[in-house]
Amino acid sequence: MLSLLAALGLCLATWKTLQGGWRGRSGLQIAGLDLNTVAMAAVAVGAAVYFWGLPYGIAFVIAVAVHEFGHVAAFRVCGHADARFRLIPLMGGVTISNTAPASAEKAVFITLMGPAINLGPMVLCLALAEMLMASQSLAVFQIGGFLYVQALVLAALNFFNLLPLWPLDGGKLTQRLAYSFAPDVTRQVSIAMTVLAAALCLATRSWFLLFFVLMGWPGLAQSETLLRAQRPLSRKRSLLALAAYLATAAAFFAGGHPLLLGFF
């Protein structure tokens, strides 16, 4: 019961944090809904189910959608009414806005809220799964089992996304924090994160992820231009951002370690 109350508290805190971003200025809209968009989403769902099986595939698609909507809602809170996202087969999703964040604080908020929006749902799924899997009913037990899978996927996906590797959200946060604490070494940190990501892909023979890393290389120079155009975070705000980043990553590791440890 305590875990359920904690989950509801986290969900409420997330709701208040993103208040004003859930519906956008013109309500909840599906932008660019055409045959190509529908086909792309269908392929994304089908690919996830094919590679990871039905429960994990569905859980993965839900996790990606919630993650990307976290970025969208944060964009809207920061005044970007045009923010939207698309599902991309095998790659997850991408969040789009026509303008860049107006300040470093807003950029950190938008980047971190993609993963952070999943904290409440992760804990809620774990709490409900624990309750439902104690039932004698097979149907209720199976629902609890899926919720447990969903919790693991929410945690593992977002922990991976917070690793300090470019172009993941963790890499973007690391780059911005490096610029705040030691601007002279930002370029070296950015290159090191990209090289490390590529090396891990080569070591694990993850050729598709290597393609994703290489595709993110052009965005590195663009990101550094944006960093220089914005005033860096103050030391106090940088420390708060670092603490929030580490605490969020630790929470996801705690929730998803049964699945994460299976990859090692």
Name the pLDDT band for 245 (thresholds 50, 70, 90).
Answer: very high
Listed by start position, the domains of the chain span 2-263
Strands (E), the chain: 84-88, 92-96
Q: Output 256 or 205, whichever has higher pLDDT.
A: 256
The share of the chain scoring above pLDDT 90, in percent, equals: 38
What sign has the CA pseudo-torsion 220, 234, 98, 168?
positive
Task: Give residue-wise pLDDT tens across range 131-169.
Answer: 999 888 989 999 999 999 999 999 999 999 999 988 889
Name the pLDDT band for 46 (thresholds 50, 70, 90).
Answer: low
Q: What is the pLDDT of residue 195?
A: 87
Distance CA 239, CA 109 (A): 14
Q: Output 235 or 247, whichever has higher pLDDT.
A: 247
Inform me whether the pLDDT recorded for 79 exceeds 90: no
SS3 content of the chain, % helix, strand, coil (to 5): 75, 5, 25
59: three-class secondary structure by DSSP = helix
Distance between first and last Cα of the chain: 33
Name the pLDDT band for 34 (thresholds 50, 70, 90).
Answer: very low
Distance CA 241, CA 236 (A): 9
Distance CA 244, CA 252 (A): 12
Q: What is the pLDDT of residue 88?
A: 53
61-70, 76-85, 160-169, 211-220: which range is least confident on average?
A: 211-220
93-102, 111-120, 146-155, 245-254: which range is least confident on average?
A: 93-102
